[in-house]
Structure 1
Amino acid sequence: MLDETDKRLLAALQKNAHLTAQELGEALNLSPSQAGRRRQRLEAEGIITAYAAKLDPTRLGLRVQAFVQVQLATHGPEQSRSFARLVATQPAIISAWTLTGDADYLLRVYCDDLPALNRLIHEVLLPHPAVARVQSQIVMDQFKQDAPLPT
Structure 2
Amino acid sequence: MAKPQPPPALDDIDRRILAALVENAELTNKALAVRLGLAESTCAYRVRALRASGIIRGVHLDLDLAALGCPLLAVVKVRLGSHDEVGVSTLFDQLVAVPGVLRVLHVAGADDFHLLMAVQDAQALRDIVLRHVTVHRTVRSTETQLVFEARYGVGIPLVPDARST
Aligned length: 150
Shift of 1:115: 0.7
Determine the structure 2 residue equivalent to 1:31: 39
Q: 2:17 aligned with 1:9, yes or no?
A: yes
Deviations 1:24-75 (A, max 9, x none): 1111111111111111111111111112322111111111111111001122
Matched, 1:104 2:115: no
Unaligned runs of 5+ in 1: none
Residue 69 (structure 2) pairs with residue 58 (structure 1): no
5+ unaligned residues in a row in structure 2: which ranges? 1-8, 159-165
- Mapped pair 1:145 → 2:160: no
Question: Which residue matches 2:163?
Answer: none
Match for 2:82: what amino acid?
A: T
Q: Would the aligned equivalents of 1:64 and 1:138 in 2 still touch at CA under 8 Å?
A: yes
State whether residues 72 and 120 of structure 2, in contact with CA within 8 Å, keep that contact through their aligned partners in structure 1.
yes
- For residues 91-118 of structure 1, what are the alpha-carbon distances to aligned partners after superposition, in whole Å with 9 as ceiling and x for unaligned? 3112111111111111111111111111
The structural deviation recorded for 1:148 is 4.6
Contact 1:11 1:148 in 2 (8 A): no
Determine which of 120, 124, 128 is the counterpart of 2:128. 120
CA–CA separation in structure 1 for the residues paired with 2:36 and 2:111: 44
Do the aligned partners of residues 56 and 31 (structure 1) sit closer, same or farther apart at CA in structure 2, a change above 3 Å counting? same
Local SS of the residue matching 2:67: helix
Whether contact under 8 Å (1:15, 1:148) holds in the other structure is no
Any conservation in 1 of the 2:74–2:145 contact (CA below 8 Å)?
yes
Kindly indicate whether the alpha-carbon contact (under 8 Å) linking 1:93 and 1:109 is maintained by their aligned counterparts in 2.
Answer: yes
Structure 1 length-normalised TM: 0.90
Q: TM-score, normalization: structure 2?
A: 0.83
Task: Pick closer, same or farther for the CA change 1:61–1:26 going to 2, 3 Å.
Answer: same
